[in-house]
Amino acid sequence: MASSLVIIPLIMAAVMALVPSNRWRPWLLPLGALAHLVLVFQLIRGPMVSEWGGWLVLDPLGKVFLILISVLFTLCMLYAPAYLNMRHDRPNRILCACLMTALALMTLVILSHHLGLMWVAMEATTLATAPALYFDRNPLSLEATWKYLVICSVGIALALLGSFFLAYASLYAGQDPSLLFDDLVRQARGLSSPWLHAAFILLFIGYGTKMGLAPMHTWKPDAYGETPGLVGALLAGGLTNCALLAILRIYQIGQAAGATAFMREILVFMGLLSMTVAALFMVRQRDFKRLLAYSSVEHMGILVLGLGIGGAAIFAMLLHMINNGLTKGVLFLSAGNIHRAYGSKLTDHVSGALRRVPLSGGLFLAGFLASTGSPPFGPFISEFSILNASFGTGQYFAAGLFVALMTVVFFAMGATVLPVVLGNPSKPLVETSFREGFWVSVPVLALMGLVLMLGVFIPPPLVSLLRDAAALLEPGR
């Protein structure tokens, strides 16, 4: 039944490629997304699912990621028909088919418990999403698409080399060769340490490139800046988290092999480096969509830092993955609405969004506060928990730098966001007839509602699932 989560979106993608009407085709997107979401909720309530001889497994860690991907995708697809109706000058056949294919492939990454299958699925997500980046069909979007393809492909190539190293770590130790994660975890104590360490570095850099960790983040500003807000939300809240899951799978193997200390030093350093680079590039940023790209770089660093700290930070890291994914949905969709209203994404041309598009301007402001860790939103809880865990484990330097960088990010991001939403409305750079209709507003409101809810109340079933997932990454806690 888990394989249906992959098959259904692929069938819907094929149907969309065949439907001739640009007007009616986008309405198949929420239909396919809702079917996926219903099946997800049926599966997460049951026991662990294993199919294809252990190649596809839905364990507690996968369930956490699957919930986020499916909820975010569904709300974005509810937004899609109204958005594409406004873009009636552009054919949407390729975009619609690519979006549904991307859902299938992201699901396959989550379900994959085979090192090779996960790599193939991850590479396929790059190919499936690249045409969506080129939706505007201008020189800047073409440049962004090529950067995305080339840089992510280099990263995936390094991940493939790391996969070979991990397989050789098993062969070198004289073990029965297997690329199934369960077998690798079970045999981890016998893996060759030098080959395992080299494999982790290559896999971390490779999948870290797809995450957009600094300094492998250079595809993100162009890709997020030039893609439609709808696609940016799925990249920042969905695809990058699939790459995080790949790193977590490798972390499971290293942890079982006793290489935890080695991995954590790398993770803490890279997490803080990513936050530092993001904070510096946010200063005086004039393009508010590129600003969101650097915000994503920052939060990928927070996730990796939480993993590196370990202990209670593992639970907080998984919670922050959900909080950040939903918050990015709010930011990208509301930023997309502001962009459509003004015909520009530069602060030189955009001001007074709270008066021109009150709901989108208000949600963009709320998304900024949530993203920077302000109460009472969900990211405040998860970020504070990571900070508390860093003090609890005696990592005072990391904790101090974390606080300092979060402060810089708050002021740097605020210096861009506040002029956009406050003040008198500027004259649109391009005359537009954009109005905040029901379908471009309600999905963003729903995402913001979830972010607020997770700041004041985390449903007990989600807490239980997060604890089970954290136990896989840190057995014995």
Contact 41, 462 (CB under 8 A): no
Give domain status of residue 477, yes or no: yes
Q: Band the pLDDT of 445: cuts 50, 70, 90.
A: very high
59: left (phi over 0), alpha (psi -120 to 50) or beta: beta
Res 154: pLDDT: 94
Q: How far is residue 360's CA from residue 344's CA, in Å, rounded to a whole number?
A: 15
Res 344: pLDDT: 84
Question: Pick from 332, 337, 356, 355: which is nearest to 428 by CA?
Answer: 356
Give how many domains the chain has, as a whole number: 1
Residue 309 pLDDT > 90: yes
Res 429: pLDDT: 66
Res 192: pLDDT: 86
Backbone angles phi, psi at 476, to 5 degrees: 95, -10
Q: Band the pLDDT of 430: cuts 50, 70, 90.
A: low
Residue 173 pLDDT > 70: no
Angle between helices 193-211 and 139-172 (to 10 degrees): 160
Question: Please, which residues bridge with residue 346 across strands?
Answer: 287
Q: List, for residues 75-109, the tens digit of each pLDDT value.
A: 999 999 999 988 888 888 999 999 999 999 999 99
* 402 to 299, 350, 395: CA distances (angstroms): 11, 31, 11
Res 23: pLDDT: 85
* 285 to 189, 344, 346, 412: CA distances (angstroms): 48, 14, 9, 8
Q: List, for residues 216-275, the tens digit of each pLDDT value.
A: 999 999 999 989 999 999 999 999 999 999 999 999 999 999 899 999 999 999 999 999
Residue with tokens 């060759």: 192
Angle between helices 115-133 and 193-211 (to 10 degrees): 20
Contact 330, 72 (CB under 8 A): no
User: Which contacts (CB < 8 Å, 24+ apart) does range 35-38 have?
Assistant: 35/8, 36/5, 36/8, 36/9, 36/70, 36/73, 36/74, 36/103, 36/107, 37/70, 37/71, 37/73, 37/74
Give domain status of residue 208, yes or no: no
Contact 284, 346 (CB under 8 A): no
Residue with tokens 């992510």: 152
Average pLDDT over residues 297-311: 95
CA torsion 295-301-303-307 (nearest 10°) is -170
Give domain status of residue 185, yes or no: no
Q: How far is residue 95's CA from residue 121's CA, in Å, rounded to a whole number?
A: 19
Residue 135 pLDDT > 80: yes
Give domain status of residue 278, yes or no: yes
Give domain status of residue 255, yes or no: no
Backbone angles phi, psi at 218, to 5 degrees: -65, -15
pTM comes to: 0.95
Res 191: pLDDT: 87
Residue 193 pLDDT > 60: yes
3-state secondary structure of 112: strand
Contact 423, 352 (CB under 8 A): yes
Q: How far is residue 204's CA from residue 61's CA, in Å, rounded to a whole number?
A: 18
What is the pLDDT of the chain when averaged over all its residues? 92
Res 434: pLDDT: 76
Q: List, for residues 10-19, the tens digit of each pLDDT value.
A: 999 999 999 8
Res 426: pLDDT: 79
Give domain status of residue 57, yes or no: no
Give domain status of residue 433, yes or no: yes
Res 110: pLDDT: 96
| Percentage of the chain lying above the pLDDT 70 cut | 99
Kindly tell me the burial class for residue 107, based on how many C-beta atoms sit within 10 Å of its own C-beta (0-12, 13-18, 19 or more).
Answer: buried
Q: List, for residues 24-64, the tens digit of each pLDDT value.
A: 899 999 999 999 999 999 998 878 788 888 899 999 999 99
Backbone angles phi, psi at 246, to 5 degrees: -60, -40
Cα end-to-end span (Å), the chain? 31
Res 59: pLDDT: 92
Q: Band the pLDDT of 195: cuts 50, 70, 90.
A: very high
Q: List, for residues 355-388, the tens digit of each pLDDT value.
A: 989 999 999 999 999 999 999 999 999 999 999 9
CA torsion 281-284-288-293 (nearest 10°) is 0
Residue 477 pLDDT > 60: no
* Domain of residue 397, residue span: 267-477
Q: How far is residue 51's CA from residue 39's CA, in Å, rounded to a whole number?
A: 16
Res 255: pLDDT: 92
Give domain status of residue 145, yes or no: no
